[in-house]
Amino acid sequence: MSLRNSEAVKLAIPSKGRLREPVLALLERAGVKVLYREEERLLASPTTRSEVQAVFMRPEDIPMLVEVGAADLGITGYDFIVEREADVEEILDLKVGAAEIVLAVPQISKVEKLENLPDGARIATRYINLTRRFLEERLPNRRFRILQISGAAEIMPMLGVADAIVDVSSTGVTLKAHGLKVLEVLLKTSARMIANKQLPEGKRRTIEELKLMLDGVVQAGGKKMVMMNVPDRCLKEVLEVIPSMSGPTIARVESKEPMWEVYAVMREEEVYDVILEAKKRGAKDLVILEVEKIIP
């Protein structure tokens, strides 16, 4: 039964940044479409599920807002959860928005490893807490000036503001374009679904249902469904090359020649070799399909 709007789960979604579109796309694939996603100035929107209401927040604020109950549920980067030291329940790693939080210095710098970072070096970052904890652990006898900025960390060494930066990097291209090299990876991050720890049972059930559907989408990532017809005379040989999660599914085909339909879910990188080998062993009418969700 649908919840009244006042009882709907408030789901915090990034209002901007690199996670916004991947998160919206993932939710839609799970069956929860944000209805007014194109209206960037809106602070809230209904979804196709009446028990889930979307609210748009800055990704760095989502951990704190979920912790205090302003949102019941949130999706944001693991880096922001760690940075804010949020006391929240981590529900699911959504496997999108993968990146690294790195410490980088100018390529022309003589500093080639973290241990050579000089005492008193200026480090520009928006990850104040994460950076401080990392440096205190790795270089406890050194003192550094950590300069808080809100963005554009890559330009700070070029402007003479900082000797190093700590920032998010997805591909490393932006760092190289600004003449920077990575000394250390502080943290690996991706989008995580988090929840307030004090939720009533009704909302907890809604969150568990949403987790199930989102996890189904995550598990389907990089998977393909392969279907083929296999003559009975070569079934054994074909099955020897078919990988599958729990074993291939086989069904008899009504045809003049004894025939079986064989289908299996496999990793995308396996499909090329499986198709070629199965074809050599007698399989025919091969079909490759996208997998939308895998619900265990």
DSSP 148-163: E-SS-GGGHHHHTS-S
Residue 295 forms part of a structural domain: no
Calpha distance 106→182 (Å, rounded): 9
Residues 161 and 202 in one domain: no
Domain holding 238, by residue range, is 223-290
Residues 20 and 57 in one domain: yes
Q: Among residues 221, 215, 235, which one has the least CA distance to residue 278? A: 235
Residue 263 forms part of a structural domain: yes
The reply to whether the predicted model has a pTM over 0.95 is no
List the CATH number of the domain containing 75.
Answer: 3.40.190.10
Residue 296 forms part of a structural domain: no
Amino acid at 57: M
Q: What is the pLDDT of residue 3?
A: 43
Residue 253 forms part of a structural domain: yes
Chosen domain end from 201, 220, 239: 220
Q: What is the pLDDT of residue 4?
A: 46
Residues 213 and 267 in one domain: no
Query: Which whole-number Å values give the CA distances from 14 to 21, 80, 160, in the listed order?
Result: 9, 12, 32
Calpha distance 273→266 (Å, rounded): 11
Q: Among residues 281, 266, 265, which one has the least CA distance to residue 231? A: 281
Q: Among residues 267, 273, 272, 260, which one has the least CA distance to residue 291? A: 267
Calpha distance 67→89 (Å, rounded): 9
List the CATH number of the domain containing 267.
Answer: 3.30.70.120
β-strands 122-125, 145-148: how paired? parallel
Residues 69 and 114 in one domain: no
Residues 19 and 80 in one domain: yes
Query: Given strand 259-267, what is the order of strands in its sheet?
Result: 249-253, 259-267, 223-231, 284-290
Structural contact between residues 189 and 100, judged by C-beta atoms closer than 8 angstroms: yes
Residues 173 and 105 in one domain: yes
Q: Among residues 109, 100, 101, 102, which one has the least CA distance to residue 163? A: 109
Residues 18 and 86 in one domain: yes
Residues 81 and 109 in one domain: no
Amino acid at 102: V
Q: Per the structure block, which two tokens stand in for 268? A: 């995308």
Residues 82 and 109 in one domain: no
pLDDT in tens, the chain (296 residues): 344 455 899 999 999 989 999 999 999 999 999 998 776 677 899 999 999 999 999 999 999 999 999 999 999 999 999 999 999 999 999 999 999 999 999 999 999 999 999 999 999 999 999 999 999 999 999 999 999 998 889 999 999 999 999 999 999 999 999 999 999 999 999 999 999 999 998 899 999 999 999 999 999 999 999 999 999 999 999 999 998 777 889 999 988 889 999 999 999 999 999 999 999 999 999 999 999 999 87
Calpha distance 49→240 (Å, rounded): 44
Residues 60 and 83 in one domain: yes
Residues 200 and 249 in one domain: no
Calpha distance 24→100 (Å, rounded): 22
Residue 152 forms part of a structural domain: yes
Residue 281 forms part of a structural domain: yes
Residue 262 forms part of a structural domain: yes
Residue 69 forms part of a structural domain: yes
Q: Per the structure block, which two tokens stand in for 115? A: 């241990």
Residues 197 and 240 in one domain: no
Instruction: Give the count of domains, the chain.
Output: 3
